[in-house]
Structure 1
């Protein structure tokens, strides 16, 4: 079958319409080879999300028009929708108009209207069927801006600002690249920075490729997505779009290829040269090749009879019905539509007047679309701060809950309180979250061993301003013989790399975990495929490298030294470990 899309000639003719009758200039526009600055945009007409035709010429009285390509499910397009509405509101009296264009083949008119309502969009949102306007302008991303003057000449092209990028948010005031260009244009001044690099999702184009070949969605691709992606890429989860069906995938193929090639998805940071982990989600080389081949061949759907059985996800508690459910606070926390939300910490007294032996614990987000991760710590009786060695439960997208067996339990002493540490990521719509914890207990006579939280921790460091490779180390000394179960490196926004190395009593060494590219966005626990026996007097040395330079895009302020602190604009250096003793304790 031939996927619907204007052929190359139609794209070229559209470029001719928009940029005049000069064939060479039209070809440049269609390929975006020479860049859009200085190009003249002729009139076009598209329907808005309510089916009403809107032409560029309707805004001939405006001093400047920002044409912005947006998608309904792209995370950055969700975040920047409200920000563009604010720009429209602030600049309307000065003769500026924002026009949104959706060229994604995967976004229907209904979805476009829902995007407008959900994010309270205050400017026209137009649908570009067949991505003709996007092809003519050479647009590739959402969001991507083309700022034109009264003569419809492109004067600025690129980002809205530099607050958000793929996988990161800058914790400082954004560089207002679009509004600065608008101000300079209205003042009759040259644009100081006419071009910036647009960052975001690929526009989902329909491609002139006949779908052929033996690699099909039904037989080869659906099983891969089911195994590695759908746990997060489904309705209600934090991932930005669903991958449950063939129709869900169409239009996202270029973005999928990009995140796979960049090793951004599935999220996993461990160096494969060291250690084997039970929760390793990475694609095999064969799976990568199948996806690339399938896209190159036009994405044939295949025979529906070849489709695998869809994965079944537990709608309720993965640990089964808990013995007790504890909410993070009395009332929901408001998560704003955009911006940076620093760590939120809520202390809860569960009223435990006797020692508890926990065999299962599950932290559950109320609003999964904005909850990045949850950590629930124990605050011992009489203490003001949490014991970072005692984590009752943790949640990250796709992560399993804690379930202990074979007589192993987590011991929490009577009178302890719980600290919910919440990390939220705004998604363009204001939300209210009231996350909670479920626990299952056992009686003390059923316990043979206690799960122990171990730490290699350093709180006495200072990272100099501008330093790109500052090393901080810490060591854990094993006082008893134990089995190492898992490792969880923890740093904040300046974290660059992290490594665990065991120094055994026989003078041999072993790299247990190497994370060469630490990512604050993914607080991962690395669960060993088989427990590792740690003899008494073993030293586990953790080495962290921090980047406090300008080259670190997430750095809040490279001009300041950084020390230990709870908030993400400060830093931490912790090598978390879970261990179980070799010998019975009860």
Structure 2
């Protein structure tokens, strides 16, 4: 029924002109649709100031406005979000300048006239102000922010060309992705759910770590006004499972860093928005949170990439390598490591490897320490820092250097980045177990065109008893599912981690609530399934044979996991070595004393 009503509404808009209206742009100038004999087709795009998709498309819209002959088409951007004001719109324009006016729809009336529901959402009006096209700008991005890498059809530009040519628009309506327009709303008393009593505690526990100034969330959720300004988006991303970002199936494994809302929390949030976002008793102003640049606490050492990297506004960016020499003359032990992106908006993920003395090849990975650890640490969107269990640490051998491998993504405007890693050390005398990152990978596969369930596996066998600490699967845009399983020597097996809906945009290191003992002979089996079909909305090209490679349009099969020797006690081993050394020293001193006594006695005999 809802779809039928929407189709009827769309058909009605196509036959009736959009009523005239007047808005004010960021300069205070009055903005109206063209009328009269000189009227021309108009493109109207709804944009929000903190919608990531609106930012990404701002450069494209500016370029598109310049494609058509001067005076042939009028472009207009409109902001209908209740939480956006003119100063925030002006700030948006300073970073993402448009070549046309940006007007404020204060009461949401114009958005209702168009039937607009998202940003960015585009409409093409002919000279009689009839809507000839409504929907997306192009098909690069699918719901959830999934990225094809490049558009295959420029729906908005094609519609404008057809209207200018006097032809029917071949595709008059497309599904629009982006952020929900949060229009002005009223609370419905008496409220059964209120922000102060019910919603604020949920946001404080599950959302504000990322949704506050300086963190990865695209908007803040520290106040009632913040929450109401983004209420529609909050409900949508919770209902479709995008937020909180967590991909592990609850049926397998318990994880220390799990992000999950209960069904009751989801119900409360949906009910609150349905009732019109009632505030309840106003909460006292929340003090601004203290800066939390380092979630591990103040590092003992910070190492920054040598020079700032310039990130272009658009396009695919090659992975970047940066080498830093920390100058360690002896082995050091790391109890916590955290990557701090210099610019979170453009840093998609960072791998921090270790490079041996004298080595210069950056396309090869070098394993460090007796357990042959593959990497030091890393960062992904929304990921937590590496904090080792008590008494455990990673080793950086003397003379080894730090190798940053960084994946940048464009956000619609030129940016710069100076990423760094912070390390906290531990006294070697306190280290009981060495932690190593292992990697199961395959570089010998090619996914056929249109394959819907291409399967890849790789195994690792424990040669001794180990403790499994965490797991981290990594694939690219064709990644569909990933699973870690343990096959024990007694013939039993267990699923350790199941990711039924892999998402390249949110990659996690899944930290076990308690270390898992893997007896000698246990087989860890990683299984990845890939979807190279048109049914995968992230797929940039279903007709391609997909090879292994670093770029987003290539693929990877990587199963990282952290381990430690189950029965290792380095502190006890060091104490035993020291005790043996002391005993040997004492024996040596005693022997020397006996030799001295014997020599003195012999000397006295000779004197006699």
Q: TM over 0.5, yes or no?
A: yes
Please state if 1:304 is matched with 2:278: no
* 2:521 maps to 1:537: yes
Deviation at 1:258, TM superposition (A): 0.8
Report what 1:172 is aligned to: 150
Aligned residue in 1 for 2:537: 553
Task: Select which of 149, 160, 167 maps to 1:182.
Answer: 160
Structure 1 residue 585 displacement after superposition? 5.0
Counterpart position of 2:326? 350
User: CA 1:31/1:180 → structure 2, altered by over 3 Å: closer, same or farther?
Assistant: closer
User: Which of 372, 377, 393 is matched with 2:348 structurally?
Assistant: 372
Change in 2 beyond 3 A, CA 1:308/1:274: farther
Could you list the structure 1 runs, at least 4 aligned residues long, displaced by more than 4 angstroms after superposition: 27-31, 307-314
CA contact (8 A) 2:39 2:128 kept: no
- Would the alpha carbon gap of residues 513 and 88 (structure 1) be closer, same or farther in structure 2, given more than 3 Å must change? same
Match in the other structure for 2:563: 579
> How far apart are the structure 1 equivalents of 2:36 and 2:354?
60
How far does the alpha carbon of each residue in 1:443-482 deviate from its partner, in whole angstroms, 9 at most, with x for none? Answer: 4433221102122222221111111110000111111111
* Residue pair 2:159, 2:172 contacting (<8 A) in 1 also: yes
CA deviation after TM superposition for structure 1 residue 345, in Å: 2.9
TM-score using structure 1 length = 0.90
Which stretch shows the higher mean deviation, 287-296 or 347-356?
A: 347-356
Q: Deviations over 1:529-561 (max 9, x none)?
A: 111111110001111001112222222322221
Give the Cα separation in 2 of the matches to 1:115 and 1:323: 38
Aligned CA distance change for structure 1 residues 337 and 401 (closer, same or farther; 3 Å):
same
Superposition pairs of residues 49-448 of structure 1, within 5 angstroms: 49-57=26-34, 61-93=38-70, 95-165=72-142, 166-305=144-283, 312=289, 314-328=291-305, 330-383=306-359, 384=361, 385-387=364-366, 389-448=373-432
The structure that has the greater radius of gyration is 2
Change (3 A) 1:304 1:43: closer
| 3-state SS in 1 of match to 2:429 | helix
Of the three residues 435, 442, 462, the one matched with 1:451 is 435
Question: In the TM superposition, what is the alpha-carbon distance from 1:353 to its structure 2 partner?
Answer: 3.9
Deviations 1:94-134 (A, max 9, x none): 51111111111111121122222221121111111211111
Q: Distance in 1 between matches of 2:36 and 2:179?
A: 28
Change (3 A) 1:58 1:432: farther
Residue segments in structure 1 that go unaligned for 5+ positions in a row = 1-26
After the TM superposition, which of the residue ranges 58-67 and 434-443 deviates more from structure 2?
A: 58-67
Give the alignment's Cα RMSD to 1 decimal: 2.4
Contact 1:98 1:124 in 2 (8 A): yes
Q: Check the 8 A contact 2:13/2:130 in 1, yes or no.
A: no
- Post-superposition CA distance 1:393-432 (Å, at most 9, x none): 2223443322335332211223323221223343333221
SS of residue in 2 equivalent to 1:471: strand
SS for the counterpart of 1:191 is: coil
Give the Cα–Cα distance (whole angstroms) in 1 for the partners of residues 36 and 145 of structure 2: 36
User: Taking structure 2 as the reference length, what is the TM-score of the superposition?
Assistant: 0.87
Matched residue count: 558
Contact kept? 1:222, 1:308, Cα under 8 Å: no
